[in-house]
Structure 1
Amino acid sequence: MSDLIQLRSPDGARATLSLQGGQLLSWQPAGAGEQLYHSPLSRSGPGLAQRGGVPVIFPQFAAQGVGPRHGIARTRRWALAHRDQGRQDALAVLRLQDDADTLRDWPHAFGLELTVRLSGAVLEMELAVENRGESRFEFQAALHSYWAVEDAARVVVEGLQDRRYMDSLSGLDGVQHSHRLELLSGKPIDRIIYGPASPLRLIELGETQTRRLHIETEGFDDVVLWNPGSEHGLADLPLADWQRFVCLELAQIEHRPVLEPGEEWVARQTVRLL
């Protein structure tokens, strides 16, 4: 059985998901090109994290816990729970739950569901976390979206004004004062921006046209903005490909949700190509 799930809505929007990692790899809105970056050097397989698309971060962000970096979800094989094509959309639901391997890394019984729906110029993603055990647990989560661009130095982000952030490169705190955050050519950026997320706009200022992604959230409080810069040294990323993407990801990092046995937490992101 192939690890890849292909979705196509009646209006021509397309997406590809991978059961390995429970990961959206590709999204092409109706009448438009690819919106997600996926590294040509990325490898897929048990225990490996793919570079690109939209990895699911759970139950910890980065090294903010005692388990594997960015958690256990992005390196496990998920199952296809449901797939459907409606009159105006297409969707798939992927599921992951605890097993002997996950319990060694994180000793809690859980269930994850990732729902992906596409229609026209809109992509909807929902992440649900269920406590299947007999004791409470807390966690962090994120949809680590790699948005494809032609040149990261031509990208600005709107919607972060007056938000607190922590610069993960320097360890210093700050506040985003300006209306637009501009990425500097070749310079890395790694920020966790805290607080209720207002609608975000990722804008690529092209030479002939401007591309805009409008991103809304329900349930995610934080935002991560990351690009490794020109001297990244990442083995699974071509040297020049730092220019080809910007990670603007919705996350729940600062205030960790706490689930009692039987409880569920749900968060969503809705992305529209304008």
Structure 2
Amino acid sequence: MAAAAAPQSPQQQQQQQPSPLVERVKTAAGLEKLVLRGQRNCSVEISLYGGQVTSWKNDYGEELLFVSSKANFKPPKPIRGGIPICFPQFGTHGNLEQHGFARNRLWTVDDNPPPLPINPAIKAFVDLILKPSEDDLKVWPHSFEFRLRIALGQGGDLSLTSRIRNTNTDGRPFSYTFAYHTHFSVSDISEVRVEGLETMDYLDNIKGKERFTEQGDAIVFESEVDKVYLAAPSKVAIIDHEKKRTFVVTKEGLPDAVVWNPWDKKAKAMQDFGDAEYKHMLCVEPAAVEKPITLKPGEEWKGRLALSAVPSSYCSGQLDPQRVLHG
């Protein structure tokens, strides 16, 4: 039996109050979204459909995430872009829909979340919760509580903290795979490089999940890429030369990292994706793919994604990627 929770301090209680920097808005499709506002023009938009971040803007109001111009924003299709939550599976297996059902469900605001460690840098945040419907239990017969905190930091950093608890009452454990399917907005995919995954082993989904070792000193893009990097480091950098911007992706509790760009042929085959939009997006996704996570009843897993965008230019030497990745 879990120990009773200790009484919260006034500081903790204050931290759990809904942020005054959160606004609820009706979308054109009649669904609700939440807007987190930070300093200057920083903002984050979250669709309650999918519990999905669909916009992340910096100080200058520039969009940092990619969302397709052809994306659907209402059930039953998932939203193409932003940060979909892939749970309880990543990929396609058995009778579950691709990438699981969490990204196709209506989440609710969690008014009474368990406390998270206090971070004074976080000014705007919201807590969401998803529980299985009767239809979900038919295709994945496990009871769970999925709590998600989305937070906008003082400097415009974005973080997503997921906590998944097994609430089965029949003593059964369950296993799942997971990914934060993060779509970054980039100037030109052929001008982008990813650092931090060199020398890593990966499974190549284009080649039947065959295992290889990354040979280059960075990942560059000249054709379709769909790879699962195994036991990836906690930080990965995406360097966009044209925009002179580097995204730093930090992950906790998620061993793998998926790198994906559909390129031209696959882009044309997707109805909710523009033919040429592959040039302006890149997915780098903290994930647990190779080895599923298993929870016994009462157990909880926690996985976190933190994103920051920093000005960078190799020409001027403003960014040393090794310092970003290992500092």
| TM-score range for the pair, normalised by the shorter chain length | over 0.9
Match of 1:96 in 2: 130
Compare 161-170 and 63-72 and name the one that shifted more.
63-72
Tell me which residue corresponds to 1:178. Answer: 216
Equivalent residue for 1:42, pick from 60, 66, 71: 71
Instruction: Tell me if 1:201 matches 2:207.
Output: no
2:185 corresponds to which residue? 148
1:113 aligns with: 147
Task: Point out 4+ residue stretches in structure 1 off by more than 2 angstroms.
Answer: 29-32, 44-47
The unaligned stretches of length 5 or more in structure 2 are: 1-25, 113-119, 311-327
Which of these two proteins has the greater Rg computed from alpha carbons? 2
In 1, the alpha carbon distance for the partners of 2:75 and 2:142 equals 21
Q: Counterpart in 2 of 1:160? A: 197
Structure 1 residue 269: Cα displacement: 1.1
Distance 2:156 2:302 in 1: 23
For residue 137 of structure 1, what is the amino acid of its counterpart? F
Q: How many residues align?
A: 268
Residue in structure 1 matched with residue 228 of structure 2 by the alignment: 192
Structure 1 counterpart of 2:255, one-letter code? D
CA positional deviation for 1:67 = 1.2
Q: Which amino acid aligns with 2:271?
A: A
Please give the secondary structure, in 1, of the residue aligned with 2:127: strand
Q: Which residue of 2 aligns with 1:125?
A: 160
Q: Which has the higher strand share?
A: 1
Aligned-residue Cα RMSD (Å) equals 1.7
What is the distance in 1 between the residues matched to 2:299 and 2:37? 33
Q: What's the counterpart of residue 105 of structure 2? A: 76
The structure-2 alpha-carbon separation of the partners of 1:152 and 1:131, relative to structure 1 and needing over 3 Å to count, comes to: same
Deviations 1:95-116 (A, max 9, x none): 1101201112211001111211
Do the aligned partners of residues 48 and 205 (structure 1) sit closer, same or farther apart at CA in structure 2, a change above 3 Å counting? same
Say which structure, 1 or 2, has more relative contact order (CA 8 Å, 6+ apart): 1
CA distance in 1, matches of 2:207, 2:122: 46
Structure 1 counterpart SS, 2:46: strand
**What's the CA shift for 1:170?**
1.2
What are structure 1's unaligned runs of at least 5 residues?
none
Q: Give % identity.
A: 29
The whole-number CA distance in structure 1 between the counterparts of 2:248 and 2:156 is: 11
Change (3 A) 1:153 1:132: same
Q: Aligned-pair distance for 1:5?
A: 0.7
Q: Is the 8 A contact 2:34 2:48 kept in 1?
A: yes
TM-score, normalised by the number of residues in structure 1: 0.93
Instruction: Return the match for 1:267 from 303, 308, 324.
Output: 303
User: C-alpha separation between the residues in 2 aligned to 1:88 and 1:246?
Assistant: 27
- 1:266 aligned partner, one-letter code: K
SS at match of 1:270: strand
Distance of 1:192 and 1:87 partners within structure 2: 32
Give the CA deviation at 1:65. 4.3
Distance 1:88 1:10 in 2: 11
In the alignment, which residue of structure 2 is the partner of 1:24? 53
What's the secondary structure of 1:140's corresponding residue? strand
Normalised TM-score (structure 2): 0.78
The structure where helix makes up a greater share of residues is 2
Distance in 1 of aligned mates of 2:221 and 2:43 = 29
1:11 Cα shift? Answer: 4.6
SS in structure 2 opposite 1:115?
A: strand
